[in-house]
Chains A and B, each alone.
Chain A
């Protein structure tokens, strides 16, 4: 392990320790069963994992990941195209700006009715949110590519496909990852909502169920699981960025 990644792991551990310490202090100060301390919560968490929490975690992870991958597969090509081909964007832009600001959660009842209460309605809802959140930044990044960069590649004989391959695609990657980081937070929030409203499984359901039984330590075990889900996504995106944008780390 090189010096740099050693430092990174060290600071990750340090920041988690600081978070736990803050939590402990707050729990001590509040001194209420509704806010159990980290030790008790972690203890419950570890006990709960084999007793169903793991299944809920997997289901939620599956829903979030599928949604993110689906959004990417759709938003990347569409965003790259809309940014470069003005005639397409002229048609798409009004639709985007009309649909983008609507809080997509309002579609849950419709989706649940149309697509059943299972995974598909939740995945569709999350995809709907994440898709727009990454489409717009990808489109803008694609549109704002320096014209001189494109011209110089064209002067090398590049046809449209070469321009997309060598210029547009790599140029939008950093923006794509940044917008994914932001969108993954929203995705987890939407996941939570949709699982509390219409589900018998998933972390949202698990949390709400614990809450309704006033099982606060289980509720916090669920919160820890949600935090872990966010952390997993963060690490994956971080890893991806090093993998696909190596020029940003020199």
Chain B
């Protein structure tokens, strides 16, 4: 496991344990989790419900503290939300009382970036995801797919080097999902942001994750880490490797 020490890794997790405390009782959510994610690569986290995938993202984003082990993001433990880490949560990331442009600019506003500069950047990322025309709408006036793209735009506005996504496309219909997967892949190819995404879909994990980390159990442990070098290749979905990997994962996850 020499990859755990390489400078090339943006995220290094060693022997991580995380617990929740409910009425003073310890509820372990993750136990002895180790992995490393090279800068500029993608990683999919997959596993049964309740195995601690969201918890892991919370720890990586600095919203939760580990109770054991160590986590390094960009060479430092994430004790507070890190400037260049962006987190996209499944449904609730957008504030219903802010218009699209205000939502996208929120992180910049909180950081105290001047209005002019903020608007410039908001415009750029909204144009990038193709939503500039909808900038004055409220989230309730958007479709699920559009909302998710606003979430992505808000993350991009932070100019992150690490993008954490919790089941970003799970509530979308198949067509919209594939379109957004495509768009995410394009963004990754353009900017080489490191992406870690939680997913319930084996297809999505194999299509987007250069590493696929399979978690299982309660508390969650790493069951297996699968390398998936074909990610980003033209027409990857239709290749035999894609199908072999999907079948392999499916059998692992059904145990």
Point out the residues of chain B lying under 8 angstroms from A157, CB to CB: 81, 83, 107, 110-111
**Closest CB-CB distance, B189 to chain A, in whole Å?**
25
Interface size range on A against B: 20 to 34
Contact between A151 and B110, CB atoms less than 8 A apart: no
Q: Which of A24-32, A79-87, A162-170, A182-190 lies on the face that meets chain B?
A: A162-170
Main secondary structure of the interface of B (DSSP, over half): loop
Contact between B106 and A155, CB atoms less than 8 A apart: no
> B132 at the A/B interface (Cβ < 8 Å)?
no
Contact between A158 and B110, CB atoms less than 8 A apart: yes
Q: A148-B93, A152-B89 are in contact. Are A247 and B81 (CB under 8 A)?
A: no
Contact between B91 and A148, CB atoms less than 8 A apart: yes
Q: A148-B92, A250-B140 are in contact. Are A155 and B85 (CB under 8 A)?
A: yes
In addition to A149-B93, A151-B89, A153-B95, 17 A-B residue pairs with Cβ atoms within 8 Å of each other are A148-B92, A148-B93, A149-B92, A151-B58, A152-B92, A155-B81, A156-B106, A158-B110, A162-B110, A166-B98, A171-B97, A247-B96, A247-B97, A247-B138, A250-B137, A250-B140, A250-B141
Q: How far is A102 from B96 in the complex, measured between Cα atoms in Å?
A: 37
Which residue in B62, B95, B158 is a CB contact (below 8 Å) of A149? B95
In the complex, how many residues of chain B place their beta carbon closer than 8 angstroms to a beta carbon of chain A?
29
> B248 at the A/B interface (Cβ < 8 Å)?
no
Contact between A152 and B110, CB atoms less than 8 A apart: no
Contact between A154 and B63, CB atoms less than 8 A apart: yes
**Closest CB-CB distance, B153 to chain A, in whole Å?**
13
Pairs A-B, 8 closest by C-beta atoms = A156-B107, A155-B87, A148-B92, A170-B97, A152-B93, A247-B138, A247-B97, A149-B92
Point out the residues of chain A lying under 8 angstroms from B107, CB to CB: 156-157
Point out the residues of chain B lying under 8 angstroms from A247, CB to CB: 96-98, 138, 140
**Proximity string of chain A (43-64) to chain B, C-beta cutoff 8 Å, 1 when within and 0 when not:** 0000000000000000000000
**Which of chain A's residues has its CB closest to B85's CB?**
A155
Point out the residues of chain A lying under 8 angstroms from B63, CB to CB: 151, 154-155
Point out the residues of chain A lying under 8 angstroms from B97, CB to CB: 170-171, 173, 245, 247
Point out the residues of chain A lying under 8 angstroms from B137, CB to CB: 250
**Which of chain A's residues has its CB closest to B86's CB?**
A155
Contact between B87 and A152, CB atoms less than 8 A apart: yes
**Closest CB-CB distance, A170 to chain B, in whole Å?**
4
Per the 8 Å Cβ criterion, residues 173-200 of A in contact with B are 173
> A144 at the A/B interface (Cβ < 8 Å)?
no
